[in-house]
Structure 1
Amino acid sequence: MTEPHSCANPVVEPETSRPGRLGVGIISAGKVGAVLGSALRAVEHQVIGVHAVSQASRERAEVMLPGVPVLEVEEIIRRAELVLLAVPDDALADLVTGLAELGAWQMGQIVVHTSGRYGIEVLAPAQAAGAIPIALHPAMTFSGMSTDLARLTGCPMAVTAPPAFLPIGQALAVELGGEPFVLAESARAAYHAALAHGANHL
């Protein structure tokens, strides 16, 4: 008599999460930061905190990043594996330098800014502390609303990074739905000027 096999049809549990998911901090919840944070969350990265000062940015965070705590910048840097700096161009250098002076940047932390004007030189203080510098600029105009998420699909995204870390920047662009292209540090100024010229003729 044959014994019954209780495990004749073993159940294979589906994989519920993707490998390499990161804890992401968003600075700040402007039109770009809130949308990109939402897009990263949609591909299962964990947004651990967002910085939002104005009432408009707090409301935007509530809509685009529901349930994500609003935190101080230093706390976001302390917790995040990937820091997304989506601040105005004029504020970027002082922010990066100030955080370096506080000893906030961490070894191996991925630091991504979204400015079209700058490459990775502006992130040098973070890189000196061992962080991984990446400049990632989506070439589109943001409204800060959920409709931007669909518009990210196929959007050209300029990626500038040290050669060893270019694959990280390119992978992030793909996860956001974009089409990454490598932009040399030396070409950033011309790239930004071309974008501004094009915008003036829309």
Structure 2
Amino acid sequence: MLRTARLGVGIIGAGRVGPVIGAALAGAGHALTGITAGSDRDRVEAVLPGVPVLAADEILRRSELVVIAVPTEQLEGLVGGLAEVGAWQPGQLVVHTDAAFGTGVLAPAAARGAIPLAIHPAIAFTGTSMDLRQLTNAFAAVTAPGPVLPIAQALAVELGCEPIVVAEEDRAAYAEAIATATAFSRSIVGQAAGLLARAGIPEPGLYLSSLVHSTVDHALAEAGGATGEVPPVDQ
């Protein structure tokens, strides 16, 4: 199994994803240097108790690995802004978790010597410790320059995921697939639950649970048969 050395890890982004990624890496033996402020400090504290809240540039100064988990529309500006103030360090690992981008969005950091990596765990994050269990049954899309691809794969393994390499030019199609599966699933379940509620069925979400899970399992099995078997998760 690929492994990385013990690293000082800083998290930029205190939404649903960043704290969970931090907790998973801490569980793999890395040391957390800090996390940026978020609107729900109680939730973050529940996942990462005692981790210092720091400004983004201070996190870069203290960390060997920086994880960026911010909304898609903020990622490019954040990376570029930190480059403009000279915050990125040569040899520093920088990982973003956005499905929509490969490593191109990290070019301003790479131009200053940072090592760009893209890792997207394919789960629906809740921002709670429950996500740590989800990660152990998940795949993660990894994109990185060839010489450092093993580092991205090792970090995905340390999150608990099975790494799957996605080429830079394929990230847009990958992101579309993820968005389609997520939005369609939520929409259809929501519509069905609404119809059941109008039909007088109590707790429609609970009523649908077994049906939806078994239907999705069958659909996934059929998808695997159509395109080649999905490899098992090796834990």
TM exceeding 0.5 = yes
Name the amino acid aligned to 2:14. A
Match of 1:156 in 2: 139
Match of 2:204 in 1: none
d(CA) in 2 for partners of 1:42, 1:200: 31
- Determine whether 1:23 maps to 2:4: no
Specify whether residues 19 and 178 from structure 1 end up closer, same or farther in structure 2 by C-alpha distance, changes over 3 A only.
Answer: closer
CA RMSD for the aligned pairs? 1.1
- Determine whether 1:85 maps to 2:68: yes
Match of 1:10 in 2: none
Tell me, which stretches of 5 or more residues in structure 1 are unaligned? 1-17
Kept after mapping to 2: 8 A contact 1:52/1:61: no
More helix by share: 2
- How much has 1:154 moved relative to structure 2? 2.7
Per-residue CA deviations over 1:5-24 (Å, capped at 9, x if unaligned) read xxxxxxxxxxxxx9710000
Tell me, which stretches of 5 or more residues in structure 2 are unaligned? 186-235
- Determine whether 1:142 maps to 2:125: yes
Kept after mapping to 2: 8 A contact 1:29/1:60: no
- Give 1:101's match in structure 2, choosing from 84, 96, 110: 84
Match of 2:164 in 1: 181
- Give 2:36's match in structure 1, choosing from 34, 51, 67: 51
Corresponding residue pairs, total: 183
Kept after mapping to 1: 8 A contact 2:11/2:67: yes
Partner SS state of residue 142, structure 2: strand
- Determine whether 1:121 maps to 2:104: yes
- Give 1:37's match in structure 2, choosing from 22, 25, 45: 22
Partner SS state of residue 17, structure 2: helix
Match of 1:3 in 2: none
Match of 1:64 in 2: 47
d(CA) in 2 for partners of 1:123, 1:78: 17
The runs of at least 4 consecutive aligned structure 1 residues that moved more than 3 Å come to: none
Q: Percent identity?
A: 58
d(CA) in 1 for partners of 2:35, 2:42: 12
d(CA) in 2 for partners of 1:61, 1:194: 29
Specify whether residues 138 and 69 from structure 1 end up closer, same or farther in structure 2 by C-alpha distance, changes over 3 A only.
Answer: same
- Give 1:75's match in structure 2, choosing from 58, 63, 68: 58
